[in-house]
Amino acid sequence: MLDLADFDEVVRLYRQRVFRFLLASLRDRDLAENLTQDCFLRAYMAREHFRGDSSLITWLMKIATNLIRDHLRSKRLRFWTKTRETALDPVDVSDWVPDERSSPEEDLIARTQVSHVWKAVGQLPAKQRTVFVLRFVEEMELREIAETTGMNPSTVKTHLYRALAAVRESMGGKL
């Protein structure tokens, strides 16, 4: 069982990845920060249940996925609550430079492409978005995504295919 000192190391190693996954999924910096803390609290409280059957990051991502699901569910019920104020937008990330060697035109094209992908991913159903982010942002294997989401690998592949088809369509490609 992990004690707080070991857990400190776990947080140090995986915090960034969990935060990034939550940020890409929820697009709200404060919310992602809060849920990252919630994720590690849940992990700390349930640390005796971790048997090491899956990797630690898969276990943490599973907790994060459950937190996203709970958050979206409670958000649907709390329809009267205020909208996000700390929402992330690719346009806001003005310091981001696609490639330092690229020309201003290439830079603009890259930003436009990112904007399209961002918009398309935002419109995906929750499961497809989760699978897409885990695959293309967190670079997880299909087997790891299946473990994280509790889906069959074939279902993961279907969701991924559909998500990619939606993104491709939004970029002007054929399905």
Partner 1 sequence: MTRETTDRQVKELYAESDAASKRELESLANSISHFREMVHFAAECQGAQLPVSAQLERAAKRQQSRQRRMMLEWAVALALCVTAAIPATSYLRTQAAREEAQRQAQILQQREADTALLEQVTNELSESVPDSLQPLADMDNDYAKDQTYTKERTNGRN
The site map against partner 1 for 86-125 (x = CB under 8 A) is --x-x--x-xx-x-----------x--xx-xxx--x----
Least distance from partner 1 to the Cβ atom of residue 133, Å? 8
Q: Which amino acid is at 142?
A: L
* Residue 171 in the binding site for partner 1 (CB under 8 A): yes
* Comparison of 53 and 99: residue with beta carbon closer to partner 1: 99
3-state DSSP of 61-103? HHHHHHHHHHHHHHHHHCCCCCCCCCECCCCCCCCCCCCCCCC
Interface mask toward partner 1 for 47-76; x: CB under 8 A: ------------------------------
Residue type, 74: S
Contacts 24+ apart (CB under 8 A), 39-42: 39/63, 39/64, 39/67, 40/7, 40/10, 40/11, 40/15, 42/67
d(CA 32, CA 88) in angstroms, rounded, equals: 10
Between 53 and 103, CB nearer to partner 1: 103
Positions touching partner 1 (CB under 8 A) are 4, 7-8, 11-12, 15-16, 19-20, 23-24, 33-34, 37-38, 40-41, 44, 88, 90, 93, 95-96, 98, 110, 113-114, 116-118, 121, 135-137, 139, 157, 160-161, 164, 167-168, 171, 173-174
